[in-house]
Structures are given as C-alpha cells and as structure tokens.
Amino acid sequence: MCSFTVPSGAATTTDTYSKLDKQDIWHPFTQMQEWVNDEPSPPLVIERGEGNYLIDTEGRRYLDGVSSLWCNVHGHCHPVIDAAVRAQLDKIAHTTILGLTHTAIVDAAAALLQVVPEPLTRAFFSENGASAVEVAIKTAFEYWQLHGQAQRSRFISLQEAYHGDTLGAVSVGGIRAFHEIFEPLLFPTAHAPTTLRRADGTVPSLPELLDGLEQALKQQEGHTAAVIIEPVMQGAAGMLAFPDGYVAGVRELCNKYGTLLICDEVATGFGRTATMFAIDHDGVIPDIMVVGKGMTGGYLPLSATLTTEEIYSAFLGRTTEGKHLYHGHTYSGNPLAAAACVASLELFQSERTLERMQPRVEKLATHLTRINKLSAVVDIRQRGYMIGIELDPDAGGQELPATTVCENTRQHGVILRPLGAVVVWMPPLSITDDEIDLLARATETEIAALS
C-alpha cells in the first residue's frame, strides 16, 4: 500500500506529476473535467519558491502575482521564517492547546495582540479563515445568549460578501455563484448593500450604503447579534472598494442599534491595504476581528478570532455552568505555524515592511492609471497591494477575458488568478520595483491583446 510507483511512459518530472495529479487529486473550486483535459492549459507543477517567485519542475520562474492565494507576505523561503520554523521543529511539531499550552502559541498570541488595536485582548486560534469566521459567528451568538438577550440571534452581512466556504461562513456570504446551491442548508441572513455597480452604471454612495445598512438594522431591531463586514475592500467579490469613512459609519450604526461588529480581515490583514489592518484606515475597533491568510507570512495554516475583554468575560463561570465557547480544532494553535507567525510579525519591524511598501503603492497606481486607458478595462480598484482590474466581460469576444489574460501572463513569467471579469493583483508585500514593472508589463500586454 505504501509503495509509490511512477506511471510508465512518463517522460519528465512534469509529466509524471501532472499525470499522478490528474489521477488522484480533486482540486478546490476547479472543474475537474477541464483540468484533466489540460483546459485551458496543462497544469503548472511548482516545485520550489524563491523570494517573490515560484519555480516549476522545468526550472521556469514565475512572479507570484497573487501571493499564493493572497497569503504570502515577505516572499517564499525567507531565511528568517525558515529558521524560525526549523528551530521550532527541533522542539516539537505539534501539541494541543486544549487543556495544555505551549511556548510557541503564547509567543504568537503576545506578538499578535501587540499589532491589533488595544481593546482586542483575547485571541482564539483556528487553522483557516473560514473556521475563524465560524468562531466569530458562534461567539457573537452565544454572547447574547449569555447576556440575557437570546432574541439577538440574527446576522447582517453584505451583498457580495465572502467569508469562507464552511456552512456558517457561507450563510453570511453573498456571492450567488458560490453560495446559491447550498441555500437550503444555510441560516437566513439579512443583506446590506455593497459597492457593486448597478444596472445604470452608478455605484452606491457612502450615505446610500449606510442607509441601506440602517434599514436592515431597523427591520430586525433588537434581533441582530452582529454585523459582519470585510473592511475597506471586499476581496472575493472582485475587489469591491468601500468609500473612505464607510467602516467608521458601520461602527457608528452598530453602536446606535446596540449590536456587535465583526470585521473579517482574513484578506485585508497584515499589511495588504498598506496599513497593518484595514480597520486602521478609519481607526475603527470591532468587537470581534478575524485574521488568517497572511498571519504566518503565508507559510502555514493559522487563523485567529480576536475579541474584547467585554465579550470574553461574558463566557466566564464554572465549567458546570456550561458558559464556555464550544469550539475547537485538532490543530488549533499549531506550534510550527505559531513560530512562523512570530517570525513574520518580527519581519514587519526589522524590514520596515509597511514603510517600504508606501512608494510602491504609488508605483502600482501609476501603472494602473496607464492600464485604465486600455479599451477592455472598465474599472480599476486599488487599496494598497489589493487590486482589481475589471474588464469588459465581452472584451475581445472572449468567453472569460480575465481568465484568458491570466493564462497568457504565464508566458511573461507572471502567475495571476482572476475573479470573474476581474484580473487580480495581490503581490507579496516584498515585491520589488522591477517586479512591479514585470507584473504591469505582462498584464498590460495581455489586456491590450484582447481587443
């Protein structure tokens, strides 16, 4: 059972691995019929990483333009994070934080609490963003139960929201294509408007957005446990940006209607929007904050649900009272992931990551101004290193123009992954000036080639 046989007739390492992959693996969010038929192109088999590049089995180098699904921060094989994980490996790879604790996770919690706003005092660890969102939902729900306001059991989320793929996270999601089929399994959630362009080409203004949310809060007044948002930019929706002041406006409305605010910073956290967290732009403090993706520098799965002392203390009592939070995962707070998290947060200081990215945010913006003039481009939205280039869905008579562009940039040595009609740029925070030029040239050439 344990022997590994290479399929016969395979000529190269690449052939071997792509053949075995097609035989054995069911890929996430992937139409496997097309995948196994090499549509639209044969699978790229990555073997190694180096800085901001991915290197395939043929030795070809590709700029990692989407940070290996939005999580890489300081580049691949960074010597400091590598050393931290190796040092932890010499101590222990895994032990639990259920009924025990360990040094690595205590260090990670301390480092994390230093970079989040002060009123967030408690970190609950999970392994991925969706699980940490589940924890946020359950925490908000149970908080009101314990607070003698059991009728506050409903949630308000935004249209086009994405909070992960587990069923609780899907219940507060708003992307029809991802979520519609599972509707009968979900708990009902009220939706407030987002900045998706309307049929008449306009985008809701700040007062309209906040008014829409207030309507939802009024409709279920006294029954809302929490409002959940992706602050500043909705990622998976196709990079939908909120106007300045939106997050602060949501906070005020939550205060006015006495409900909790959950900020899902899984995509926006750890420098992505050019501040440590997106909430830092408006100086907003949520009651519950969710982080994941970039938390370990993009090395290992780790996420956290952070809460205020006020929320945390509602769960205190004797075990027999049954007030504690009923949630946990086998690998919660894994030591190797915790060590990577500490090293990544230290790099933000030692490499002055946020400071050094500011001029590059401008450099990206300059390229985007030029790209915006291409006829196939409908709109561009940028917040720091979180960028969506929206294409005309009919550009070049293509079925999926953004997919075509992202396929073709590979020939220039750039890996991108689209969201619908949107070409996404989510480079590692460590991207250099030259690499930004490469990213922009490749994208511009391939968008121009559509028409």
Return the residues of window 163-202 that contact ligand PLP according to CB under 6 A: 163-164
Phi/psi at 242 (nearest 5 deg)? -95, 150
* Contact in structure between 76 and 64 (CB atoms under 8 Å): yes
Nearer Cβ to ligand PLP, position 64 or 264? 264
Q: Which of 146, 225, 241, 267 binds ligand PLP (CB under 6 A)?
A: 267
The 3-state DSSP class for residue 157 equals strand
Q: Does 264 interact with ligand PLP (rule: CB under 6 A)?
A: yes
Which residue number is nearest to ligand PLP in terms of Cβ? 129
CB of 264 to ligand PLP, least distance (A): 5
What are 161's two structure tokens?
């929201």
Which part of the chain contacts ligand PLP (CB under 6 A), choosing from 25-33, 259-267, 381-389, 443-451?
259-267
Nearer to ligand PLP, 295 or 343 (CB): 295
In this complex, which beta carbon is closest to ligand PLP, that of residue 76 or of residue 163? 163
What is the greatest pairwise CA distance in the chain?
Answer: 68
| Residue 391 within binding range of ligand PLP, rule CB under 6 A | no
Is 129 a binding residue for ligand PLP by CB under 6 A? The answer is: yes
Q: Is 64 in the site for ligand PLP (CB under 6 A)?
A: no
3-state DSSP assignment of residue 163: coil
Chain position carrying tokens 């953004």: 402
What DSSP letter does each residue of 72-136 carry, written as one string?
Answer: --S-BT-HHHHHHHHHHHHH-S----SS---HHHHHHHHHHHHHS-TTEEEEEEESSHHHHHHHH
Residue 327 Cβ vs ligand PLP, minimum distance, rounded to whole Å: 15
* Residue 294 touching ligand PLP (CB under 6 A): no
75: Cβ contacts below 8 Å, ≥ 6 apart:
49, 50, 51, 52, 428, 430
Interaction between residue 236 and ligand PLP (CB under 6 A): yes
- Whichever of 72 and 128 has its CB closer to ligand PLP, that residue is 128
Burial (CB count <10 Å: 0-12, 13-18, 19+), residue 202: exposed
Q: Which of 232, 239, 266, 340 binds ligand PLP (CB under 6 A)?
A: 266
Q: Residues interacting with ligand PLP, by CB under 6 A?
A: 128-130, 133, 162-164, 230, 235-236, 264, 266-267, 292-293
